[in-house]
Structure 1
Amino acid sequence: MLIVAVPLALALLGPLFAPGPGPRAASFTEGGGHWLGTDFVGRDVWRQVLLGGRPVVLTALAATALAYLVALPLGLAAALTHRPWLEELLMRPLDVLLAVPSLLTILLVAAVFSPDATALALLVALVNVPDAARIVRAAATEAAARPAVEALRMQGESWWRVAVGYVGRSLTRTLAADAGVRLTGVLYLVSTAAFLGVGVAPDAADWAVMVDRNRTGLFVQPWAVVVPALLIVALTMGANLLFDAALERKTLERKTLERKRGSRT
């Protein structure tokens, strides 16, 4: 919990406590009122750390949410349709997108359109839709084959009630397991894109940009690179571990409940 709490707190609350810009010092210096030293243009590294996490976290969360927002209806529609041609129409274009490496897609689009932070979130969401939709479809296909779904259809229940009310609810565990891995991958893509200068200004207060722009002074003033790099690693690892722990807790609670029910019978 602590491994993700520290970078998440810095990302969300850091800008509220960031000091003013102040006068710039010499590049890659230590001390002088800057307890983490200065960066490649003489700015206070601690201030940049406090300001640089929010863009990474908000972009990653927005991209993950948008990916599921598109993938869920696509996967459910493909799993519940009785028309093979419709399933092919929905899934085959996604397979084509899945064949292209995500980072390559982002770099190609960035070379043409020069996206900003909002466009980067949309682009990262887009490259995550095919894989997420395939996972939703696979899990929903299994749930759709249950007798309860056929009973709901025979009772004349609407597609929405069947897809969301029953099949969608049965995907909770699968999506929870996928969400941790998905968010980790999205954080990797967002950080890598920012490291390569996609979607952010070259001197932006961003953890990934800090790693890129300050790496020339790594052996002179390492904190400007080490601190943001460790925060990114802790955030990605912590997010995955947090989702895994929550899933294990839910599994344990479900098994305990089943044992209690079995003992009563």
Structure 2
Amino acid sequence: MSRPMQFDRVPLSARIGMAIILAYVAAALFGPFLAPYGQTEVAGDQWTPLFWSQPGPDGDVFFLLGTDHLGRDLLTRLLYGARNSIGIALVTTLLAFAAGVGIGLLAATKQGVVDQIASRSIDVLMAFPSLIFALMILAVLGSSIPVLIVVIALLNMASVFRITRALAMDLEAQDFVDVAKLRGESALWIMRRELLPNAMVPLAAEFGLRFCFVLLFIASLSFIGLGIQPPMADWGSMVRENASAISFGVFTPLIPAAAIAGLTIGVNLVIDWLTNSRSVGNEA
């Protein structure tokens, strides 16, 4: 069985990653309460620069990150976009893992016909290019948030299934699983008490990586107009809406792009620590 991880030996890089993630989570949870304006409120002129102030009906108004192509406060849009982008990506990843891990553990435990049916079904799903499959379904059913979540979760569930099944197959050959079977434990008990706890570290690392993939995929769909729809704030659509500002020397679209990159870097710093800790634990 795997050894427990020593959280008191967290390296600096992982601490930085955790701090970045906590900052983004705080922005997603409390951003709408901290935002100086409404999500769709036009508060100023078009594409004002950073740290810009201008006269308003009730006195001067200040824009820390400037405004977008419609004159909406960019900081406000980023904070609301954090809730929309991170929230939808998190729900999608959780759904993909619930399905992928459950089916993967079942296939590895039962094997035989159950494993063949599950594996071949996943092979059919993975045969379709992810982007083309998503574009086809979204074009037919529309880009509502429930459809977006289900489609992207289905695509990522296939990869989660493959990883979970491979991990569970390795654990199935261990003595403690054989002992549980000899005691007459049920398949559900073995999945829940023997396989899943011993696969938690690599699955946690995969969860973080999969979350980043989902976040980037949603941003990509929003960039081409098939993701989160206006007027909801979304980092991907914010890049698309303000892309033409680059031609005028305004770097507004780089701010939401930097928000996506910052969260991805923070998650990957934690993932690196998890994978390295697992390698050290296995060698020990």
TM-score range, shorter chain: 0.7 to 0.9
Structure 1 residues not aligned, in runs of 5+? 259-265
Q: Distance in 2 between matches of 1:208 and 1:49?
A: 11
Which residue among 26, 29, 44 is the counterpart of 1:25?
A: 44
Q: Distance in 1 between matches of 2:192 and 2:210?
A: 22
Q: Distance in 2 between matches of 1:82 and 1:206?
A: 42
Q: Is 2:77 the partner of 1:51? A: no
Q: Is 2:28 the partner of 1:11? A: yes
Which residue among 66, 75, 90 is the counterpart of 1:61?
A: 90
Q: Tell me the number of residue pairs that the alignment of Structure 1 and Structure 2 aligns.
A: 255
Q: CA RMSD in A?
A: 2.2
Tell me the equivalent position of 1:261.
Answer: none
Does the C-alpha gap of structure 1 residues 41 and 67 become closer, same or farther in structure 2, counting only changes over 3 Å?
A: same
Aligned-pair CA distance for 1:11: 3.0
Q: Is 2:165 the partner of 1:137? A: yes
What amino acid does structure 1 have at the position aligned with 2:233?
A
Q: Distance in 1 between matches of 2:25 and 2:153?
A: 21
Q: Is 2:188 the partner of 1:160? A: yes
Q: Distance in 1 between matches of 2:120 and 2:147?
A: 25
Displaced runs of 4 or more, over 6 A: none
* Structure with more helix by fraction: 1
Aligned-pair CA distance for 1:120: 1.2
**Counterpart contact for 1:7–1:232, Cα < 8 Å:** no
Aligned-pair CA distance for 1:133: 0.3
Q: TM-score, normalised by structure 1?
A: 0.87
- Give the share of equivalent positions with the same residue, in percent: 31
**Counterpart contact for 2:37–2:73, Cα < 8 Å:** no
Structure 2 residues not aligned, in runs of 5+? 1-15, 55-61
Q: Distance in 1 between matches of 2:42 and 2:130?
A: 41
Greater Cα shift, 30-39 or 107-116 = 30-39
Greater Cα shift, 74-83 or 194-203 = 194-203
Q: TM-score, normalised by structure 2?
A: 0.82
